[in-house]
Chain A
Amino acid sequence: MIEFERVVKDFAGGVRAVDTLDLIVEKGEISVLIGPSGCGKTTSMRLVNRLIPLTSGRITVEGRDNREIAPEDLRRKIGYAIQQIGLFPHMTVGQNVAVVPRLLGWEETRVAKRVDALLELVGLDPDIHRDVYPRQLSGGQQQRVGVARALGADPPIMLMDEPFGAVDPITRAVLQDEFLQIQATIAKTVVFVTHDIDEAIKMGDRIAVMREGKLVQYDTPQDLLARPADEFVRAFVGADRELKRLGLVRVRDVMSAPGGEPPEPGEDAVPEHASVRDALSALVGRAFGETPVVDADGRVCGVITLEALRAALRREVEERAS
């Protein structure tokens, strides 16, 4: 758990980058810091591992004031992945991943095992990729190594500053999915900085919207989209926020039992783990006709209809009102 208590950061010249920030990042959750450029999101993140000293207030990490811990020791216990990846170009992939374990003085055999396990975890073949240099990898592979390196010594906490920023949208989506899968098993406490609202909604258990150093709203993605605190947040999440909200609901939870014909080969079907937003897109494509839903093995397990969707939405609006 990470706790910001009335944290203030003034830079030289009197610029207040972070203004009386109170924020709790729950254990095992991903908290996304988001906001326009210069809103203090990256600064807030860098206060946690003392890359920047805070001006007043306090930050506790796992219950301890972070100023009680020597900066180097603190940082070795906190995974760190950044936007430009920052892989060491003169070290092989394996050496990059091994940096923190070696700083902590692990035995070489243990380090080697850990490196291979981590590379496998992020979807790289150790035998192929361990001994190559970063410049021999694609952008997506480099980002994977960046994540593996941040996980190096199995830190309970991770700081990620736009870790998937430097790749194309398709690779980015793949990396996001993979990281969510990994997070489901490792359950790290993550501070995740981004300026992309879609990424925030997808990755975050909670989203903190910041503006000019102040926390404007801190909520789950559903609540943020359903009840923006003010005009700024409303504008920031975008006019299509209701559609984005559909992105958080799984088809599986809205579909009805299969009725009609199984889909023709090659015909569009929606996977059951897809979002309702994708299902809506398929529905539009069929002029709101019935759309089959398939499970992971490609068998039809249900259908989705406009009526079912409308019923689900109505239920939710009523819940929200009560």
Chain B
Amino acid sequence: MPVNRVAVLGSLIAGLSLFFLPLVELKPNRLASGTPFYLLQLEGDLRYPVLFVLALVPLVLALRPPDAVRGTLLAGVGNALLFLTLYLPAVAGEALLLDAAAILGEGVRISNPRLLPSAALALGLFGSYTVLYAGVRDLAAAGVGRGARALAAWGGLALVLLAALAGRFDIYSILVEFDVRGQQLAQRTVEHVMFVAVALAIGLVLGVGLGLWAHRDRRVSPVILYLVGIIQTIPSLALFGVLLVPLARLGDQRAMAVAVVFALTLVAAAAALALFRWLAPRLRGAGRQVLLLAVALLTAVPVALLTVVLASYLFRVSFIAFTSPVATLAQLRTLMLVTLLAAVVLQVLARRQRPGVARSWLVRATWLASAGLVVALVSALVLASQLFLARVESVSTLTVRELGVSGIGPAPAVIALTLYSLLPLVRNTYAGLVNVDPAVIDAGRGMGMSAPQRFMQIELPLALPVIMAGVRNASVALVGIAAIATVIGAGGLGDFILGGIINTSIDQILLGALPAVLLAVFLDAVLRGGEGILVSPGIRASDEVAAS
């Protein structure tokens, strides 16, 4: 008889950790270390031993024949464990806090004592979730419907959320910390999201562009892939440091002067490229390489200038656009949200519809909603630009610093993040395009598709799953790297983490770390969803279509 091993594993993790590891710690104040309490040490009630026994129940359930009943029971126990592992320590904690003085003994200065969740609580939750997952898997194997499975999977979590909203968990130190710094948390989270979003937007343009170039021109592809690979090996802290001085210097320059340099180098690069094209067939060996290098260097200057100014400026402006309380901007934000939702819903509907008149209308409506989204976004950015540049008196005296470029702060952070996003984006764009079946491209050519049509209708849709994987890679990595940007005064969730490390306050660290983790998971899920909408069912990895 197949024993549900996953349930056994979860039960053992929960049971053993609840028995051997401390459940909560009582801390006399925010910084001092606490006194550990074990589950079975908590007095006054039978509920605590019951939780322990409940954690071991799946060991017995796992031996039942695998059917919907076993699944239901396991999922039920898993949900109960999940809720109680959070709920019971909170109840016990209230008593502990009241008696803090007596428990901690005399001589300990008690100010604002706190209850810190400890190892058994974390592992207990992990074990509960494992049991729950084992149950849901049983239900799926028994062919139980989607709704019931969703209830089994999310029921406990919903209960936890309700209890949290009702204030039952307010006693936990991290929520106490949240109470104190909630305002700040919202601000830092928005900053963090903005870092990632702006870096990703610019990285997407640059990275996909470079990936395309690498694919089109086999001679430059090793160079491009090598360069973006090197960027990845620079430690982020070092990159922030390296950017500091040049960006500070650049900030002092007049914007007009920089614009002139940009234009001149751009013209010089174009001229050099033309010269190279003209001379290339006549030149051999070293001369050719030198000329090519000159073209590359001349091109790098305007591209770097544009990227730096654009990234810095775009961050400042988007930050205003997405946070400013100005009424028009608030309306535009609502409009963006509405059009985004509409575009997603319409696209999903269009995908489900068979080809025909109805579908072509849905596709048109999707385009309309997307256009609305772009218009709203651009107007918000324009309006935010006006607010940002309100103090500027004349273009001739405008410095680059006033455009947002600076040695410390968000500018170097966004630039560094943009650079870090390049490797996954370039590599995946290149790999996605290289791996398109040549026979398919040949068929497109033979049927009379022009080069842009081949790219838009064949190469891009077929490379899209790989490119999207690169975007997901980059975004998850950026959420992590952005946390380091706090050391150059950029803000973001790293502020809490670094502050917590300095204060040795685990609560403060968690206040930064947990949202960062949730943000990464959320971004990944959203991008996966986007992939599901954008990638054709004909080339999706899952075999859902083949089965239908």
**Chain A interface (Cβ within 8 Å of chain B)?**
49, 51, 71-77, 80, 82-92, 94-95, 99-100, 103, 108, 112, 130-131, 133-136, 149, 152, 159
Contact = CB atoms under 8 A, between A and B. Distances in A.
Given A72-B448, A76-B448, A103-B449, A86 B443 contact: yes
A82 B355 contact: no
Interface in B439-490: 439-440, 442-450, 453, 457-458, 461-462
A167 to B, nearest CB: 15
Nearest to A46: B446
A43 to B, nearest CB: 13
| Residue from A82, A89, A134, A152 with most neighbouring chain B CB atoms (10 Å) | A89
B448 A135 contact: no
Interface stretch (B25-33, B191-199, B536-544): B536-544
B348 to A, nearest CB: 17
Contacts of A135: 538-539, 545-546
A51 B537 contact: no
B546 A136 contact: yes
B542 to A, nearest CB: 12
Contacts of A76: 447-448
5 contacts: A82-B439, A88-B458, A89-B538, A92-B538, A135-B545
Contacts, number: 93
A80 B453 CA distance: 17
B503 interface: no
A80 B446 contact: yes
Contact of A80 (B447, B457, B535, B537): B447
A92 B355 contact: yes
B443 A100 contact: no
Contacts of B444: 86, 88, 99
Contacts of A130: 355
Contact of B446 (A82, A89, A91, A108): A82
Contacts of A75: 445-448
Nearest to A74: B448
A90 B538 contact: yes
Contacts of B461: 90
A286 to B, nearest CB: 47
B446 A159 contact: yes
B473 to A, nearest CB: 22
A160 B449 CA distance: 18
A144 to B, nearest CB: 15
A108 B360 CA distance: 9
B107 interface: no
A72 B442 CA distance: 13
B462 A90 contact: yes
Contacts of B457: 88
A89 B448 contact: no
Nearest to A131: B354
B437 interface: yes
A86 B437 CA distance: 8
Nearest to B461: A90
Contacts of A51: 442, 445-446
Interface residues of B, number: 29
A91 B440 CA distance: 12
Contacts of B281: none
Given A82-B442, A84-B439, A89-B538, 17 more contacts: A72-B448, A75-B445, A75-B446, A75-B448, A80-B446, A82-B446, A86-B437, A86-B443, A86-B446, A88-B444, A88-B457, A90-B539, A91-B536, A100-B447, A112-B355, A131-B354, A136-B546
Per CB-CB distance, the 9 closest pairs between chain A and chain B, nearest first, are: A86-B443, A133-B538, A75-B448, A76-B448, A80-B446, A84-B439, A90-B536, A86-B439, A72-B448
B356 interface: yes
A71 B447 CA distance: 10
Interface in B507-548: 535-539, 545-546
Nearest to B450: A72
A88 B440 contact: yes
B444 to A, nearest CB: 7
Contacts of A83: 439
A284 B461 CA distance: 57
B453 A103 contact: yes
A135 B546 CA distance: 8
A293 to B, nearest CB: 44
A99 B357 CA distance: 18
Nearest to B537: A133
Contacts of A100: 447-448
A49 B445 CA distance: 10
Contacts of B446: 49, 51, 75, 80, 82, 86, 159
A22 to B, nearest CB: 24
Nearest to A75: B448
A51 B458 CA distance: 17
A289 B535 CA distance: 64
